[in-house]
Amino acid sequence: METNMAIPADARNAEYTSHMPAEAISHSLGHDITSAGGSIRLRLIHAHAHYHATAVSLHRHRHGQWEEIFKIDPYCGYGECQQFHELPEGTDVRQGDALQFRCRYDNTEGVVVHYGLSAAQEMCMQPYIHTCIDLGHCIAVTASCCESCTVARNPK
């Protein structure tokens, strides 16, 4: 997670990008990707920003191109927008992919807004839940689900 955010005072449409380069994906998810036969499925994303945010989006870099795979515009802050959201079917991550979570802000404060935990500060993060195989209607909530996957079947 990057914490170097600095949204200029009185800025409109200021952009900040949280990066997960291919090397970081390989380091943190490589075992799961390999164990799953080459890709993992991203199922849910927690769009996490505070009150200055006006839009958030998740992008995947593959084969030299960025693709937007999720977006909330306008972003409504805490509550309805700051929760887990389902990602489109087929949203996967492979070795060599990179991810970016992009946030746009309006800062009407007369001071620079930095990264932080309070509502007066900001974040641009994208915690997510992934599974290593397509398990139908299920949720796996483990850091390394290919080694130990806890599955809760959703009744239909």
51-105, pLDDT tens digit by residue? 999 999 999 999 999 999 999 999 998 888 988 999 998 899 999 999 999 999 9
CATH number at residue 13: 2.60.120.230
Residues 6+ apart with CB under 8 A from 66: 59, 60, 100
Domain-embedded: residue 121: yes
Tell me the pLDDT band of 149, cut-offs 50, 70 and 90: very low
Answer yes or no: is 95 within a domain: yes
Residues 6+ apart with CB under 8 A from 154: 137, 138, 139
Q: Tell me whether residue 24 is in a domain.
A: yes
Q: How many domains does one find in the chain?
A: 1
Please provide the average confidence, as pLDDT, over all residues in the chain.
Answer: 84
Distance of CA 56 to the CA centre of its chain: 9
Is residue 138 assigned to a domain?
yes
Distance CA 105, CA 25 (A): 27
Domain range holding 72?
Answer: 6-153
Q: How far apart, in whole angstroms, are the C-alpha atoms of residue 74 and residue 65?
A: 25
Q: Which residue, 70, 64, 72, is CA-closest to 98?
A: 64
Task: Return the biggest CA–CA distance within the chain.
Answer: 52
User: Domain for residue 1, yes or no?
Assistant: no
